[in-house]
Amino acid sequence: MAFLVPSGPFGVGSVTRELIDRGRPSHLLSDTAGRRLFLKLWYPAERGTGDDDERIWQDLRTDARTPALVRALLGCLRARTATRVNGRFVARAPTSSVVAYNHGLVSFAAENTSLMQELASHGYTVVAIQHTEQLAEFKALSRAEPAEKKKADAELAQRLKDASSADRPTLAVEYFQASTNTNRVVVERAADTSFVLGRIADVVAKIPSLRSNAIDTSSAHLVGFSVGGAVATETAKRDARALSVVNLDGGMYGTLDTKAPSQPYLMLYSSANDGGNDKLLPQHAKRVAPPDTTHLNYHDLAGLVPLLRLVRVTGRTNPRAFLEERNRLVREFLSQSA
């Protein structure tokens, strides 16, 4: 299936980097020093420069840590993106703003490539952050959690899933408060995001033909999907460099204090989760809940595998058209929040 084509005037280039926070352990329950972060960058590029168009999720295909079954499934996805590795940064364009992206609980930097490309084609430089030890961290936290706690959390999650729209916001607060492991993960990934923002000038320096002062590295818009939406929110609470927050159907995990982000805030709910964050969102937040959507509709996978709609994993909405709408909503919000 053909991948979404970005609508902006620029081509899209990409590079990857790795950072190591040597002052922290590799993951929450590890005794090994050094928290490793894989970064993928998308940026406005001169059309036709760089390598051939990337295959979708190319970094995941070549990562030795990717399970063999996942690599086999990726082999069935033959779509190519509009991104060219090492494309030359555009010679003439307004100063590019940074967008820092955080993915879901156990996922990968390029999960929403169509959104990254859309933003880059309109002049943004997107930095997607992936904690390389996330799976080991998740497994360690799960092993350490008592069986009674897991059972209670599962029951609470089911109650939240079955709740009416009127009861959902109150029950969601109880659910977030009980989600001890996820809260810890979100706080650590917020620290990851601030760590990256503090080194962003060095991170973007690898972009080919980058001219001086072409990217404003003093601040960043924060975007996240699922748990990544909570990470964006948590980062904005503590980091003055945050310009705005876009939460793509994520919960409000984290410190759960009374402080809400003061920056412009876009909450994009799925209809399945509509209203779940309402008691914890800032009062000024813009809320949108497109009809006939589930959580997975906010992931590029929904548009790449239309059969997911037939087995009711995604909602009844047209998945490709919805992703185009999602990309437009995010892009327009960021342009208004500059």
pLDDT in tens, 83-142: 999 999 999 888 999 999 999 999 999 999 999 999 999 999 999 999 999 999 999 999
**79-86 mean pLDDT:** 95
pLDDT at 308 over 60: yes
Contact 178, 145 (CB under 8 A): no
Q: Please give the Cα distance from 280 to 278 (Å, whole number).
A: 5
**212-218 mean pLDDT:** 95
Contact 223, 98 (CB under 8 A): no
Contact 277, 169 (CB under 8 A): yes
pLDDT category at 73 given cuts 50, 70, 90 is confident
Would residue 221 be called left, alpha or beta, if left means φ above 0 and alpha means ψ between -120 and 50 degrees? beta
A 10 A CB-CB count for 6 gives 24
**In whole numbers, what is the pLDDT of the chain averaged over residues?**
95
Cα–Cα distance list, 1 to 4, 81, 154, 203, 246 (Å): 9, 11, 36, 33, 28
Domain spans, the chain: 11-144+181-336
Among 38-52, 60-74, 160-174, 287-301, the least confident range: 60-74
pLDDT category at 188 given cuts 50, 70, 90 is very high
40-52 residue pLDDT tens: 999 999 999 999 9
204-217 exposure pattern, b = at least 16 Cβ within 10 A, e = fewer = beebbebeeebbbb
| Architecture of the domain delimited by 11-144+181-336 | 3-Layer(aba) Sandwich (3.40)
Contact 49, 88 (CB under 8 A): yes
pLDDT at 1 over 60: no
236-261 exposure pattern, b = at least 16 Cβ within 10 A, e = fewer = bbbbebbbbbbbbbbbbbbebeeebb
pLDDT of residue 62: 85
Provide φ and ψ at 187, rounded to 5°.
-60, -40
Task: Establish how many alpha carbons lie within 13 A of residue 270's alpha carbon, considering only the half-sphere containing its beta carbon.
Answer: 24
Contact 265, 185 (CB under 8 A): no
163 three-class SS: coil
Q: Please give the Cα distance from 191 to 243 (Å, whole number).
A: 17
